[in-house]
């Protein structure tokens, strides 16, 4: 167990910032120590994702939750799109 003396205001501010990343203070300390051991150096700083990145993450989570259609190849996706759009003809590739 590790005990650390930290100013109450600093702890509050750090807790809020870490919560925005989905982490607790304990999580952050554990991650820090593991990285120091692994890298034998102080790790680079972690940042809260910006608004655009957070929106993309939420969109991806919503899609996964809704179990949106998924395709394992581009050709399968294109075929599905063509079927749903009424069979639009494929354009000839410019290289032949």
Mean pLDDT, residues 74-94:
75
Mean pLDDT, residues 14-22:
94
Contacts of 48 (CB under 8 A, 6+ apart): 17, 20, 21
- Determine the pLDDT at residue 42: 85
Taking the CA atoms of 60, 61, 64 and 68 in sequence, report the sign of the dihedral they define.
negative
- Determine the pLDDT at residue 16: 96
d(CA 32, CA 39): 10
- The overall average pLDDT reported for the chain is 85
Alpha helices of 1-96 — where are they, by DSSP H?
A: 8-20, 25-39, 51-65, 74-84
Q: Are 45 and 20 in contact (CB under 8 A)?
A: no
pLDDT digits (tens, 9 = 90+) for 32-70: 999 999 999 888 777 888 999 999 999 988 888 877 677
12 has pLDDT over 90: yes
């Amino acid at each position: 167990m590790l005990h650390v003396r930290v100013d109450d205001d600093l702890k509050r501010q750090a807790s809020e910032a870490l919560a925005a990343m989905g982490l607790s203070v304990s999580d952050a300390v554990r991650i820090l120590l593991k990285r120091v051991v692994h890298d034998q150096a102080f790790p680079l700083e972690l940042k809260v994702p910006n608004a655009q990145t957070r929106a993309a993450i939420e969109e991806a989570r919503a899609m996964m939750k809704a179990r949106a259609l998924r395709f394992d190849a581009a050709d399968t996706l294109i075929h599905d799109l063509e079927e749903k759009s009424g069979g639009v003809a494929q354009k000839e590739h410019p290289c032949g």
